[in-house]
Amino acid sequence: MRVDGDMLTMTTPLGESFTAKMDVTEAPVKGDRGADRVSIKQINPNTLEQTYKLDGKQVSITKMTVSPDGKTMQNFVEFKVMPIKIESTFIKQ
C-alpha cells in the first residue's frame, strides 16, 4: 500500500490492485474475483476504511489503523456475505 496525497494505491503479489481517492469515491479493483469496486474513507490521519463491493453489493469492510510510531497496524475485516470477522496486527519489518 502506498499513500500519495489523497490517493491510496494497493497491489498484492497475487495481482490484485487498485488506486482510489480517499473520499469514498468508488474505484475499480483489478484481479480480485471477490470484489470489483472499492471506496476508501480516511477516518483520521492513522486510520483508513476500505469498503469492497461486487456487482453493487457490499462484500466486506476493512479498517486499518497504524500506530503513532508507525511500527504496527491493527487490521479489522468484516465480511458481509458470510458473517466472518478477522482481527490482526501487522508488525513493520
The arithmetic mean of pLDDT across residues 32-39, rounded, is: 95
Domain that holds residue 77: 2-91
Let me know: does 35 contact 53? Beta carbons within 8 Å: yes
pLDDT per residue as tens digits for the range 47-60: 999 999 999 999 99
pLDDT above 90 for 1: no
What confidence score (pLDDT) does residue 82 get?
Answer: 86
Residue 29: how many CB atoms within 10 A of its CB?
21
What confidence score (pLDDT) does residue 15 get?
Answer: 92
d(CA 17, CA 30): 5
What confidence score (pLDDT) does residue 81 get?
Answer: 85
State how far the alpha carbon of 82 is from the alpha carbons of 28, 58, 78, in Å: 23, 11, 9
**Number of domains into which the chain is organized:** 1
